[in-house]
Amino acid sequence: MKLLTPLCSSVMLAALMFIANPAAAEEQCQTLWAGQHNDAGEVCVSNDNDEITITVTGHNGWDIYDTQLALGLSKSDIPTNRPGNPIIGHFPYTGVPENNTYTYTFPLSDFGATCDSLFYIALHANTSGGETAWADGNRFVQRGNWATYFTYQASCDTPPPPPPGDMTCETAYAFGNVELNTLGQANRWGWAIEGIAAGTYNQSATIWAGAGQNDTSKGVDVGFINYSFSTSGLLTVDVYAHAGMYFTEAHLFAGTGYPSNVAANGSFTFQWENTQGANTIFFEEEVDGDPINMILHLVACHPED
């Protein structure tokens, strides 16, 4: 991955992760923090081609009394209130450990998932120390409540077969409310999403490939994005390709203005290339300013017509 110097001072990098399909499943473990600072155990996640398994274990003298779990294919699948704090009482799965461990196992089909889906997971526990505990991850809100969630990239024991037929790879953009040809590059098709205000949550946009002259009737719907911009300035974007399609490049700009040349994708703030392709991309970054603008350019591969 290549990260370039931000184009304007409004962008402050926090974290960026692009996720391609791994070749084999690997267990992922998160520390279970009690009272925010005490290592009270771990939460380990794994999957096979049919099921996802989540195991909670207490250690270091900490006993786990009970657990509450929420998971899904979107952060919005975790119950939260209007300010964004998790509602533990609405978490759909609970368990009481025996011998200080508890294991959840679910069919992937329960979530409309496959063996290479990206999961959002929040695990809360009550402990013997009278402390509440959360599996390590990203905070739901940046101030106040320290509750956290994490992501797990499932992977297939046996990689899925490639899509049938010949593939076409071409330029794609996330659809937005401003056409790039109105921003000084008359011959550039594509869109920007302008005016994303702080406090914007769970918005989506279609990704169009080959939509010359901004005519979506000429293009191919290759996927979609979900994005949020919190009141604390955290921008999160999930990028998904439709079944049988994938991305080999992604270039993203986010800030209060625009790049000097919106056609120069190579100078966008974030750059990624993967000749093997990926059907899921996820990133987070802190962005100064309100509102902000975003341009997401990709190279998308899809079956030929």
Per-residue confidence (pLDDT) for residue 186, from 0 to 100: 59
How distant, in Å, are the alpha carbons of 89, 102, 262 from that of 98?
22, 7, 58
- Give the C-alpha separation, 67 to 147, whole Å: 14
Per-residue confidence (pLDDT) for residue 26, from 0 to 100: 72
Per-residue confidence (pLDDT) for residue 267, from 0 to 100: 79
Domains of the chain (ranges, CATH numbers)? 2-20+161-303 (no CATH), 28-153 (2.60.40)
Per-residue confidence (pLDDT) for residue 188, from 0 to 100: 81
Per-residue confidence (pLDDT) for residue 266, from 0 to 100: 77
pTM of the model: 0.53
- Give the C-alpha separation, 156 to 46, whole Å: 10
Per-residue confidence (pLDDT) for residue 2, from 0 to 100: 28
Per-residue confidence (pLDDT) for residue 5, from 0 to 100: 27
Q: How many CA atoms lie within 13 A of 114 on its CB side?
A: 11
Which residue carries 């998790």 as its tokens? 86
Per-residue confidence (pLDDT) for residue 8, from 0 to 100: 35
Per-residue confidence (pLDDT) for residue 4, from 0 to 100: 29
Per-residue confidence (pLDDT) for residue 185, from 0 to 100: 65
Q: Which of 290, 299, 292 is nearest to 272 (CA)?
A: 299
Which pairing describes strands 138-139 and 148-153: parallel, antiparallel, or unpaired? antiparallel
Residues of the chain under the 70 pLDDT cut:
1-25, 157-165, 185-186, 305
